[in-house]
Amino acid sequence: MGRILACTDGSLYAASVCDHAAWAAARMGVGVEVLHVLDHHRERASLSDLSGALGIDAGEELLRQLTELEETRARLGQRKGKLVLEEAARRLREAGIEDVALTQRHGALVETIAELDQRSELVVIGKRGEGADFASLHLGSNLERVARASHRPILVASRAFRPIGRLLIAFDGGPSARKAVAYVAAQKLLKGLECRLLTVGREDAQTRERLDEAATQLLRSGFAVDARIVAGDADKVIAHEVETGGVDLLVMGAYGHSRIRSLIIGSTTTAMLRSCRVPVLLLR
């Protein structure tokens, strides 16, 4: 079996990512690979943009100084990354996870995850990165792209970890929602937790049949399931259920059945990621 792939940048979500990864690893009986990605694209771009405006005499000296500055930033970035990884390893081992691998890569986070997650069981990532305090309702710039690129389920960590005892599956009957149910039923990760299955919309024979099929699949895997259909707006109904129902984890497909998955993740999914204060498990 692969490890949990925990993505960290040393932001305010770093500790929570480690705690969620440790929880998942313990339940699944696997180790954790902690990933930190160094992306110097922004620094290289600023250097390139400035060089075109320099005169011949001043240009060479200033470009030399800028190159030295970029090299210094790169060294500092590597040092920071090493410290971030070491802190993650310490936190994971304190949580009882002995199998911890540390990986630092140069490049783009999304492409790196798309490569490494093929050897992983689950990807854990924070809702937001280093700018978390500055845009509380803004998703991290990489999160939606990771959701599209990843081959594995993604656990989006909340700001702080809390014990997980009750999960809510948002079920719209689409392919990714059915995959979410199948994952919950088959994997060790959520075994033994209290399970609620929620469909938002108008109740009819087809909707009821699909919901009952999903509930039966979970019941056969040993879950005690509360399955309901609730009329209303999906975003508001799901958010209300999470806030008032003591839900510790929201499970949902990354794409609604009517969405064009190659262009954007489902609007309900995006709304839940923005507003939800509990971790979200996404399945494509």
Query: What's the whole-number mean pLDDT along residues 6-19?
Result: 92
Domains, the chain, with CATH or none: 3-41+76-157 (3.40.50.620), 166-283 (3.40.50.620)
What is the pLDDT, as a whole number, of residue 5?
96
- The dihedral sign for the CA sequence 12, 14, 19, 24: positive
List CB contacts of 33: < 8 A, sequence separation 6 or more: 3, 4, 5, 6, 100, 101, 102, 103, 116, 120
Helices 14-28 & 56-94 angle (0-180, nearest 10): 40
Structure tokens, 8 = 């960290």
Quote the pLDDT of residue 219.
96
Rounded-to-integer distance, Cα 135 and Cα 146, Å: 19
pLDDT at 135 (0 to 100): 44
Average pLDDT, the chain: 83
Q: How far is CA 51 from the centre of its chain?
A: 38
More confident call, 197 vs 144: 197
Average pLDDT of the segment spanning 207-233: 95
Using alpha carbons, select from 208, 147, 149, 136 the residue that is nearest to residue 173. 208
Banded pLDDT at 136 (limits 50, 70, 90): very low
Residue 218 to residue 17: CA distance in whole angstroms: 28
What proportion of the chain, given as a percentage, has pLDDT over 90?
Answer: 53
pTM (predicted TM-score)? 0.82
Residue 267 has pLDDT above 70, yes or no: no
pLDDT tier, 268 (very low <50, low <70, confident <90, very high otherwise): low
Q: What is the pLDDT of residue 262?
A: 34
Q: What is the pLDDT of residue 130?
A: 52
Q: Which range has the worst mean pLDDT, 59-68, 161-170, 176-185, 261-270?
A: 261-270
Least confident span in 20-29, 89-98, 169-178, 262-271: 262-271
Q: Please tell me which residue, 44 or 23, carries the higher pLDDT value.
A: 23
Where would I find the H helices in 187-233?
Answer: 205-220
What do you get for the CA distance between the two ends of the chain, in Å?
A: 20
What does the pLDDT read at residue 63? 76
Structure confidence at residue 139 (pLDDT): 46
Candidate ranges 32-46, 62-76, 166-180; pick with highest mean pLDDT: 166-180
User: What per-residue confidence (pLDDT) applies to 266?
Assistant: 55
Pairing relation of β-strands 154-157 and 280-283? antiparallel
For strands 100-106 and 32-38, give the pairing.
parallel
Strand partners, 197: 169, 227
- Is 60 exceeded by the pLDDT of residue 54? no
